Amino acid sequence: MSNNSEFKNIQEYLDKGAVILDVRTEGEYNEGHVDNSLHIVLDELEYEIDQLKALDKPIITCCRSGARSERAKELLEDNGLDVINGGPWENVESYL
Q: Tens of pLDDT along 21-41? A: 999 999 999 999 999 999 999
pLDDT at residue 21 in the model: 99
DSSP string, 41-94: -GGGGGGSHHHHHHH-S-EEEEESSSHHHHHHHHHHHHTT--EEEEEEHHHHHT
The pLDDT assigned to 2 comes to 44
Report the half-sphere exposure of 70 (CA within 13 A, side-chain side). 9
Length of the chain counted residue by residue? 96
Give the per-residue pLDDT at 77.
97
Report domain extents, the chain: 4-93
Residue type, 27: G
- Give pLDDT tens digits for 31-81: 999 999 999 999 999 999 999 999 999 999 999 999 999 999 999 999 999
- Residue 4: its pLDDT value, please? 54
Its pTM stands at 0.92
CATH 2.40.30.60 fits 4-93, yes or no: no
61: phi then psi, degrees, rounded to nearest 5: -85, 150
